[in-house]
Structure 1
Amino acid sequence: MSTAEHLAAIDLLRSREFPAEHGRSPYGVGGPGYHIAELLTSGDFWEDDGTEWETTSDQYDAERDGLTVLLAERWGEPQKFSLASVFERAQGDDFADEREDGDEHGGEDIPEPWSSLSSSVPDLHLWRVEGRWIALGVSQWDTELPFQLLAVVTEIDPP
């Protein structure tokens, strides 16, 4: 997808109704109150010595930053929003161990899309436009897995 296509996808998602149920869409995933568009996805890094990973990481950050400049021309400078504390709140006191009461999720209930985003996106560039939040971020679930440039449109306030 080109930069113009990325902007068109963001504009399309801003104008669309949110889906009633969680699920896939032609652009990515969505659910009640949000759309997440997968604008760009890299290859994986199973056979990489670290060189390709570093280059791709820099490329995806540059793609996000380039889109940020164009969107800042429309809506002003974005907020830089770290999801680290959201992830910690969602995990609670026990990142890996099951709790004694059998509850595997000891953390706070974080609403979507923020819960899912906090698992793979360290920070977002975030705007509030016409009653909706628009965000850009770079996702990677694990060092061997692909990077994704994500655009988020949601009516759900950040936690």
Structure 2
Amino acid sequence: MTQAKEFIASFNFYLQIDGVVDKLPIKSFSTAQVETEVPGQIMGCAAKGKPVFQATPTVVNSNPIDLTITTMIMDGDKQFFEWFKKCIGPDGGSRQVMTERKSGSVFALKQEGAIGFQCDFTNAFPKSYQPGEFDASSGEMATEQWTLVCESFKRTK
């Protein structure tokens, strides 16, 4: 009898970025859709004048690729923000974005804790930062949202 395949839950995941964060728990993660433009083209006529139509994939429309990550704010944990400052220079300082581009991965875990899903990205840098909304009546944890730009994004597991 074959064992049933496990569905991966979307709540048990973390982020790793080389030299920045290792196994950072994140609240949410999303990426822009990668799609192929498909022009429909009439290729000619067949018997009785019936047009021959063909949809053909052309250019992959995915560059640059934005990754949106929401992290929980933890006391004393500023390594993500320090990387942002090095790359963007939000205070008008120097930018080191070309030397600070990083590779990383998003991992989703199976029930027993093994990696069940992995997406890798390369040459990423932070594009924007937004602290979460602070609302004394919400009962929510404090968050911050990051948008990273990367040159490649692919599922490897």
Q: TM-score, length-normalised on structure 1?
A: 0.28
Max radius of gyration: which structure? 2
Between Structure 1 and Structure 2, the one with more helix by share is: 1
Whichever structure has more strand as a proportion of its residues is 2
